Amino acid sequence: MALDGIVTRAVADELQACVGARIHKIHQPSPHDLVLQIRGGGIQGRLLLSANPTYPRVHWSEQSFVNPMEAPMFCMLMRKYCEGAVIEAVRQVGNERILHLDVRQRDELGDTFQKRIVIELMGRHSNIILLDAATETIHDGIHHVTPSISSFRVVMPGTAYVSPPEQGKRDPFSILNEQEFTDALHAAGTALLHPPMPDEDSIHFGTAPKAVPAESLTPDKLIVAAFSGLSPLLAKEIVYRGTAGEAPITLPNGLDELQLTSGTLWPIFNELMTQFRTRKYEPQIVALSGGSGKSAFSVTALTHLSGDTSAFATVSACLEAFYGDKAQRDTVKQRVSDLIRFLQNERNKNEKKVEKLEETLREAREADKFRILGELLTASLHAVQRGDTSVELANYYEEDMPLVTITLDPQLTPSQNAQRLFKKYAKFRNSQTVVAEQMELAEREIQYLASLLQQLDSASLADIEEIREELVDQGYMRQRVKRGAKKKKPKQPALLCYTSSEGLPIYVGKNNTQNDFLTNKVAGPNDTWLHTKDIPGSHVVIRGNAFNDSTLEEAAMLAAQFSQARSSSMVPVDYTLIRHVKKPSGAKPGFVIYDHQKTLFITPDEQRLKDLPSQIKI
């Protein structure tokens, strides 16, 4: 489910702890996200503000973010007005998915000014907007909304801020008794059954509200239509708690028996709202049973769902666990679609090349046939005339001397036909070595392309650019021509570093550039190197030689997790000392040979790996 008003309320309550703290640093790791480093007042951490169209959210984050070499314009603006600013207030607007962060800052002359960061968590309309708090003039938004996109509200520098349009719903926290609850449900149901007369614009643009049939007005739909900030998931939970007891109740649809519906649901509704008013939240994620892979989260128990439930101490921990790297993976998928298509096409070409070479090799292995035919023809030149298209001769190389038919070129003399067969024999005999070499090269190419496809499967945005540069350097792709100043390449790639349960650093190379740098430059001769056996994957290095089985297991799990076998069990992982790992001269990036290895079989434990601290080291 998406964030609703109740979850947003829980987030706002949790963020009250950062009132009085300062915004130390601001980064914009992606076009949709801002990361504020907050310090002071006993609080220190990274606050993620995301206007991602699919995964909008606000929460404290333990995740490591890779920032672009040059900060985007909106990030520079935020730094100008908000870096070093004191957070004076955090509040939710009504019960909507809108948060306001009021900050106070001093300019170069020492004068105080106040700004407001507005975070609108509204699906594809999500936005992060910086305002002047006094005049509510927009400085800028992370997403621009021009008049051509919306005539109701424009988000552009210098325009006045207009709040998102009201939905006409009641604030659930303003409902104090059963009668008000009933009236709200009745008003919402009536509006759905008898929508107001549409204006000309809504008719013209096809947005006029349409009446719904009474039988479609289920109790949970009435709750969603009546109250702001209540999602369908929470509405279903209210209905389930009210009707699923020792004697289950079935509530009618529509408005005819609304007193029964409201009388049944009001105690549960009031109990939940009282719980939320007093900041009693129960953040949890339910992994739905049935093998669909789907899950849902809320800040109260979801008793109507069946599945494995995970409870969290804070709403931030719940949101981070739920969203994980979903947003980053989606962005990566969009960025790598052209690379994946290119690599798959190249792999298909090489696979077809191998098929043709195998056919040529099979023919070449029959080279002796042409030699024998040539010798048979040479011994019987007197029996052949120029102009013959074929001749039938006894094969005296076999015991029973069977007759064989030799096809002839009528334009050639018998002697020339014999020489043609000997030339074919020489050609096929000599080609065996060449074809075998070509097949080996094509097989290596397929392995190399498979390794790149595997790397893209777990790549971050920074990893993608390194893979693209590698393809350019290897001559597979042309350099993208961009306008403006050329960006400087970093001197060395950033590496993902985990800390084992024993406190040892475990480095992971997520692409060939990082693999080469890690294995050939970073690692020492007595460090331990790991890689999945005969499976495309990452180079993994344990720095240091004094460790126990737990560190070795964790490093092997990382090697399996960052490989093509990440979803498999009992994955074979080779490990040896770095001094036994060599890169052959002229080999493809990331390719090494090694010896003195041992092999262990490991099944990746995703939760155990998530619990390991990790960071990007440059």
Q: Which of 514, 512, 465, 467 lies closest to 494, judged by CA?
A: 514
Residue given tokens 């298509």 in the structure block: 341
Instruction: Please give the average per-residue pLDDT across 393-415, as a whole number.
Output: 89
CATH topology of domain 330-457: Helix Hairpins (1.10.287)
pLDDT at 555: 95
| Whole-angstrom distance, CA of residue 71 vs CA of residue 279 | 37
Q: What is the mean pLDDT of residues 487-501?
A: 78
- Collapsing DSSP to helix, strand or coil, 434 comes out as helix
Per domain, the residue ranges of the chain are 5-160, 178-322, 330-457, 495-617
Residue 133 above 80 pLDDT? yes
Residue 456 has pLDDT above 90, yes or no: no
pLDDT tens track for 65-118: 777 778 999 999 999 999 999 999 999 998 999 999 999 988 777 788 899 999
Range with the poorest average pLDDT among 133-137, 264-268, 333-337, 604-608: 333-337
Residue 618: the pLDDT is 67
* Residues near 392 by beta carbon (within 8 Å), at least 6 away in sequence: 403, 404, 405, 406
Q: What percent of the chain has pLDDT over 90?
A: 51
pLDDT tens sequence across 508-552? 998 898 999 999 999 999 999 999 999 999 999 999 888 999 999
The whole-number pLDDT of residue 207 equals 57
Cα–Cα separations (whole angstroms), residue 489 to 191, 357, 462, 584: 60, 40, 12, 26
- The chain-wide mean pLDDT, for the chain, equals 88
> Does residue 574 carry a pLDDT above 90?
yes
Burial of 602 (0-12, 13-18, 19+ CB in 10 A): buried
Q: What local confidence, expressed as pLDDT, does residue 271 receive?
A: 94
Q: How many residues does the chain have?
A: 618
Average pLDDT estimate for 471-476: 84
Greater pLDDT, 247 or 28: 28
Residue 483 has pLDDT above 60, yes or no: no
Q: Which fold has domain 5-160?
A: ibrinogen binding protein from staphylococcus aureus fold (2.30.310)
287-291, 320-324, 355-359: least confidently modelled range: 287-291
Q: Which residues contact 411 (CB under 8 A, 6 or more apart)?
A: none
Helix (H) or strand (E) holding 460: none
pLDDT band at 416 (very low <50, low <70, confident <90, very high): very high
User: What's the Cα-to-Cα distance from 174 to each of 126, 273, 465, 501, 586, rounded to whole Å?
Assistant: 26, 10, 52, 50, 73
Q: What is the mean pLDDT of residues 250-263?
A: 89
Q: Among positive and negative, which fits the CA dihedral 346, 348, 351, 353? A: negative
Tokens of 356: 């043709």
pLDDT of the residue at 205: 46
Give residue 1's pLDDT. Answer: 54
Secondary structure class of 543 (helix, strand, coil): coil
Q: Tell me the per-residue pLDDT of 182-233, one tens digit each, with 9 for 90 and over.
A: 999 999 999 888 887 665 545 544 556 778 888 889 999 999 999 999 999 9
Whether the pLDDT of residue 246 is over 80: the answer is no
Contact by Cβ (8 Å): 397, 377: no
Handedness of CA 343, 345, 349, 351 (dihedral sign): positive
Cα–Cα distance measured from residue 111 to residue 83, given in angstroms and rounded to the nearest whole number = 15
In this structure, what DSSP letter does residue 160 have?
B
